A and B are shown apart, each in its own frame.
Chain A
């Protein structure tokens, strides 16, 4: 089974924010919630670089480990998803996440943040595929349609790659060979450096 990963090529990103727009449009995400963002390093200086970042779907996901109600689960393709019906909005996943991926729709006075929202790798949530409830809570399920994430698909310079980890690593390796230098794969050590946490067997009978 393919292990789904994101890869951001800093040499190619032109900071157009097309991925951010694609994500917002694809999933009809409300104002104030940004599942993906582009960060520019050394902005306005020689050697400026940009990187698109969202949930990286980590092997040993910290959000999963700290969640007090265990809302996270992992698909057989390594995609980290969560159940919004169970989320209590405590914000612990946001404290733990290295990439700042978890988003909350409310401002957080008295701890009222609303239910957490994050990148789903365009794989929806626990609701039945293509259901209205799934779209409302998690956005479109492109993986079930046989497509890859909208952000990577629409990246104009193919700086953002999303898909089977082996395939995108090969693409990147070819680029590095052609360029001659610059082999850093941003964030992969943090996201995928740890041993893979096997997806837990679904609880008998599903939700109780």
Chain B
């Protein structure tokens, strides 16, 4: 019975598809033009073939004297589809996704609290990020936050900010947002590329990563799970966030930012949808990253702020890496922690 029903639906769908697609393949533009020429003789004033062509918009003999992008196209129907996707699922589900992530993080914080160190700090510092790595990180991070805020203003401002600020002030804000977004965007793309090459070495799959996945890093149990310099959650953020979404958002961003190269509307519409969906996912992931990097975990922010972390922190969160660093400095004949006095002063506060 169920099989029958499913089969019937598959058949119905294929019939519908064939009915829609077949004429498209069968009738090329040239054919339609010839048809119209023939129709002109047999049935003068019957322009049906010509009207079919207008919708297709591919006729090389469709001309205009006005210069510009796609000025010879009379009707483009893709705009309506873009509108429905952008104003529909992208805005609605994207907006709720961000709200949901914030609420989930709030619940997690309420339940788990700030993840504190179990051992008292040793006072010995280990360098976790070099000044260059911090420069690259903060360049990317600050440009990302600017782009996220200005991008969200463009997508949701009409529904959230406009009723509060009124037309004049919101228009001023939106102009600022758009200009910032369009000029900071290329900077972010450059930073993200440098970031990839800076951190890729420590983000490849390493022995012991599987164990970390299986125990979810002890995030929910509080159990100790050893990891290398970056755990799998950080690697996931690096590959899906910075690399994959970074490339997707940057590439589509360039297409949208430089319309002076005369790209068509279909490409811009597709880019806009990819850009918006990618950016919303990117922001959702960034919420998690920022949460753990600031209020979610003791010592995480200081590691990127000052570059140094306490030995106890490294042992608890990145044990494999700690062993690696410790053995390296032992073979080099020094103590594992060689932090400058300034970092000692403001770095690790308990």
With a cutoff of 8 Å between Cβ atoms, the chain B residues found around residue A203 in the complex are 166-167
Q: A39-B74, A68-B158, A208-B166 are in contact. Are A89 and B178 (CB under 8 A)?
A: yes
With a cutoff of 8 Å between Cβ atoms, the chain A residues found around residue B79 in the complex are 62, 95-98
Q: Look across to chain B and name the residue whose beta carbon is closest to the beta carbon of A10.
A: B47
Q: Judging by beta carbons under 8 Å apart, are B80 and A68 in contact?
A: no
Whether B33 is near chain A, meaning CB under 8 Å from some CB there, is yes
What number of B residues sit within 8 Å (CB to CB) of A? 65
Whether A37 is near chain B, meaning CB under 8 Å from some CB there, is yes
Which of A46, A65, A94 contacts B87 (CB under 8 A)? A65
Q: Judging by beta carbons under 8 Å apart, are A46 and B258 in contact?
A: no
With a cutoff of 8 Å between Cβ atoms, the chain B residues found around residue A41 in the complex are 50, 53-54, 59, 61-62, 74
Within 8 A of B (CB), among A62-98: 62, 65-71, 83, 85-92, 94-98
CA distance in complex: A96, B63 (Å):
22
Whether A187 is near chain B, meaning CB under 8 Å from some CB there, is yes
Fill in one digit per residue for A32-65: 1 if any B CB lies within 8 Å of its CB, else 0: 0010011111111111010101000000001001
Expressed in whole angstroms, the minimum distance between the Cβ of A35 and any Cβ of chain B is: 10
Q: Judging by beta carbons under 8 Å apart, are B61 and A111 in contact?
A: no
Q: Look across to chain A and name the residue whose beta carbon is closest to the beta carbon of B157.
A: A68
Whether B71 is near chain A, meaning CB under 8 Å from some CB there, is yes
Q: Which of A135-143, A145-153, A159-167, A175-183 contacts the other chain?
A: A175-183
Q: Judging by beta carbons under 8 Å apart, are B167 and A40 in contact?
A: no
Whether B155 is near chain A, meaning CB under 8 Å from some CB there, is yes
Expressed in whole angstroms, the minimum distance between the Cβ of B31 and any Cβ of chain A is: 13
Whether A199 is near chain B, meaning CB under 8 Å from some CB there, is no
Q: A39-B74, A44-B61 are in contact. Are A95 and B269 (CB under 8 A)?
A: yes
Q: Judging by beta carbons under 8 Å apart, are A69 and B158 in contact?
A: yes
Q: Look across to chain B and name the residue whose beta carbon is closest to the beta carbon of A15.
A: B65
CA distance in complex: A107, B53 (Å):
30
Q: Judging by beta carbons under 8 Å apart, are A11 and B45 in contact?
A: yes
Which of B71, B72, B178 contacts A88 (CB under 8 A)? B178
Q: Judging by beta carbons under 8 Å apart, are A95 and B82 in contact?
A: yes
CA distance in complex: A112, B180 (Å):
11
CA distance in complex: A181, B260 (Å):
44
Q: Judging by beta carbons under 8 Å apart, are A69 and B170 in contact?
A: yes
Q: Judging by beta carbons under 8 Å apart, are A108 and B258 in contact?
A: yes
Q: Judging by beta carbons under 8 Å apart, are B154 and A90 in contact?
A: yes
Fill in one digit per residue for B262-289: 1 if any A CB lies within 8 Å of its CB, else 0: 0001001100100000000000000000
What number of A residues sit within 8 Å (CB to CB) of B? 61
Q: Judging by beta carbons under 8 Å apart, are A111 and B37 in contact?
A: no
Which of B54, B65, B77, B259 contacts A108 (CB under 8 A)? B259
Whether B211 is near chain A, meaning CB under 8 Å from some CB there, is no
Expressed in whole angstroms, the minimum distance between the Cβ of B287 and any Cβ of chain A is: 23
With a cutoff of 8 Å between Cβ atoms, the chain B residues found around residue A112 in the complex are 182
Q: Judging by beta carbons under 8 Å apart, are B63 and A43 in contact?
A: yes
Fill in one digit per residue for A164-192: 1 if any B CB lies within 8 Å of its CB, else 0: 00000000000000011110101100100
Which of B43, B83, B168, B272 contacts A208 (CB under 8 A)? B168
Q: Judging by beta carbons under 8 Å apart, are A37 and B47 in contact?
A: no
Q: Judging by beta carbons under 8 Å apart, are A43 and B47 in contact?
A: no
Q: Judging by beta carbons under 8 Å apart, are B46 and A181 in contact?
A: yes
Whether B133 is near chain A, meaning CB under 8 Å from some CB there, is no
With a cutoff of 8 Å between Cβ atoms, the chain B residues found around residue A108 in the complex are 258-260
Q: A96-B82, A108-B258, A109-B260 are in contact. Are A38 and B64 (CB under 8 A)?
A: yes
With a cutoff of 8 Å between Cβ atoms, the chain A residues found around residue B258 in the complex are 108-110
Whether B24 is near chain A, meaning CB under 8 Å from some CB there, is no
Expressed in whole angstroms, the minimum distance between the Cβ of B28 and any Cβ of chain A is: 14
Taking Cβ atoms with an 8 Å cutoff, the residues of A that contact B are 10-11, 17, 20, 34, 37-47, 49, 51, 53, 62, 65-71, 83, 85-92, 94-100, 107-113, 179-182, 184, 186-187, 190, 203, 207-208
List of 10 A-B pairs having minimum Cβ-Cβ separation, nearest first: A208-B166, A108-B259, A111-B182, A37-B66, A86-B171, A181-B45, A107-B260, A182-B45, A47-B40, A46-B37
Not counting A46-B40, A208-B165, a sample of 9 additional A-B residue pairs whose C-beta atoms are within 8 angstroms of each other reads A20-B66, A38-B66, A43-B63, A49-B50, A90-B178, A96-B82, A111-B178, A181-B43, A181-B45
Of the A-B pairs whose beta carbons lie under 8 Å apart in the complex, a sample of 9, sorted by A's number, is A39-B62, A71-B171, A86-B167, A96-B80, A97-B79, A107-B260, A111-B256, A186-B51, A203-B166
